[in-house]
Structure 1
Amino acid sequence: MTTVPVVAIVDDDVSVREAIGLLVRSFDFAVELYGSGRDLLSDTALDRIACIITDIHMPVMNGFVLSDALRARGFNMPIIFMTAFAGEGYEERARESGAACFLNKPFKDTDILRCLQNTLKLPPD
């Protein structure tokens, strides 16, 4: 029996979070939705998450701070960073944080699928 990877989506914009969740579910992944980095960090079952897709720009805790907090707690699951406001140095900062992938919003469905397949070492469709 094959276990379906759980992908966590972290974005403060509920419409974006839900849309990306629906998209990722359509690729046959299990999805957990979080409105903030704090919401994700308060989940007592973080070890079930195979990959995180997080927005960079969020109030209180941005995606980079979330990544640092996860690493400080010993969690090393891959993180896909996404942003609609790619500032100078963001992609480099994401790479330094160990980003599995970096996406600029809006992105194509195939872009996020490719990132997930590469990150989770899944065969292409």
Structure 2
Amino acid sequence: MTDAPLICVIDDDVSVQRALVGLIVSMGYRCVGYASAEAGLTSGHAQAADCIVTDIHMPGLDGFDLKQKLDARGSSGRVIMMTGRSDSRLELRAQEAGAFCLLRKPLHAGALAACLSRALGKSTG
């Protein structure tokens, strides 16, 4: 399990964050969770992660701010953004920010698994 990719989940809704960490661990990945972008950055896990799964809308640094800070720090991890909002402009904004993909809440396990596999360069078939 130590060679498994590290995924960092950042969501201010702690129940969502914990559920995602459990789901991602059940998929065979290592996973850590944080309730804020600031906490993820301070820990060093966000920069070291192979993939970051982050909510867009959070107090303090939002998902777009987080992506910008990760880029500035030279992080090579792919960023998957999540939102519970139905604003169609978020898709374009996430793409322009360099997000690997944008998932809508409530998340479907299959969509998350497929996006993680693609982000990490693994075959889904």
TM-fit CA distance, 1:31:
0.2
User: Is there any run of 5+ residues in structure 2 with no aligned partner, and where?
Assistant: none
Moved more, 42-51 or 87-96: 42-51
Q: Which runs of 4+ in 1 moved over 6 A?
A: none
Match of 2:79? Answer: 79
What do you get for the CA RMSD once the two structures are aligned? 1.7
Moved more, 44-53 or 13-22: 44-53
Match of 1:34? Answer: 34
**2:8–2:45 contact (8 Å) kept in structure 1:** no
2:32 partner SS: strand
Describe the superposition over 1:68-122 as per-residue Cα deviations: whole angstroms up to 9, x where unpaired.
1111111131000001013241111110111111100012110000000011011
Aligned residue type for 1:78: R
Residues 67 and 117 (structure 1), Cα distance of their counterparts in 2 relative to 1, 3 Å cut: same
Residues 33 and 88 (structure 1), Cα distance of their counterparts in 2 relative to 1, 3 Å cut: same
Match of 2:67? Answer: 67
Aligned sequence identity (%):
37
Residues 18 and 95 (structure 1), Cα distance of their counterparts in 2 relative to 1, 3 Å cut: same
Q: Does residue 100 in structure 1 map to residue 100 in structure 2?
A: yes
Residues 8 and 93 (structure 1), Cα distance of their counterparts in 2 relative to 1, 3 Å cut: same
TM-fit CA distance, 1:47:
4.7
Residues 96 and 110 (structure 1), Cα distance of their counterparts in 2 relative to 1, 3 Å cut: same
Q: Tell me the TM-score normalized by structure 1.
A: 0.92
Aligned residue type for 1:107: L
Matched positions, count:
125
User: Is there any run of 5+ residues in structure 1 with no aligned partner, and where?
Assistant: none
1:53 partner SS: strand
